[in-house]
Homo-oligomer: A and B are copies of this chain.
Amino acid sequence: MTLQAIEDFISKQKTAFIGSMDAEGFPNIKAMFAPRRIEAGGIYYFSTNKSSLRTGQYLENPKASVYFYQRGRFKYTGIMLVGTMEVLEDHDSKASIWQPGDTMYYPAGIDDPDYCVLKFTAVRGRYYQSLTKGDFTF
């Protein structure tokens, strides 16, 4: 897969799986809604709760992965990105990915203290597509 094909694939996914490290050193996995915003160079923004388990894990250890997967009738594609996850709480970052429907979860709006942004910056990745695979970097 070319880097362009990888980015195209990722931009169509509705679910992302995020990897984190827990306090006992176990790798954790959680499904998230697709990134709210994607920037060139492997940068992905997710919205989440400040009080969530994952947010706490990333504050302790920013090492992270983000995985995208689709299984079709004749082939499957899996793309893993490895990098770091930052927890952003400033107004501008929060405003940049805010959606009107978020008020349902965060009644105080953009500045709701439980609303925050996870910013993932990939450094490298690996893809699997049916029987082919390859590594790439950002």
Interface status of A41 (Cβ within 8 A of chain B): no
Residues of B within 8 A of A63 (CB): 24-27
- Chain A's interface: helix, strand, loop or mixed, by majority? strand
A31 near B78 with CB under 8 A, answer yes
Residues of B within 8 A of A26 (CB): 19, 63-65, 82-83
Task: Decide yes or no: A29 and B14 within 8 Å by CB, A22-B82, A82-B22 being known contacts.
Answer: no
- Binary flags per residue of A23-58, CB closer than 8 Å to B gives 1, else 0: 011111111000000000000000000000100000
The 6 sampled A-B contact pairs (Cβ below 8 Å) are A14-B71, A26-B64, A27-B28, A27-B29, A27-B63, A31-B67
Q: Which 5 A-B pairs have the closest CB atoms?
A: A19-B27, A27-B27, A29-B67, A31-B69, A26-B63
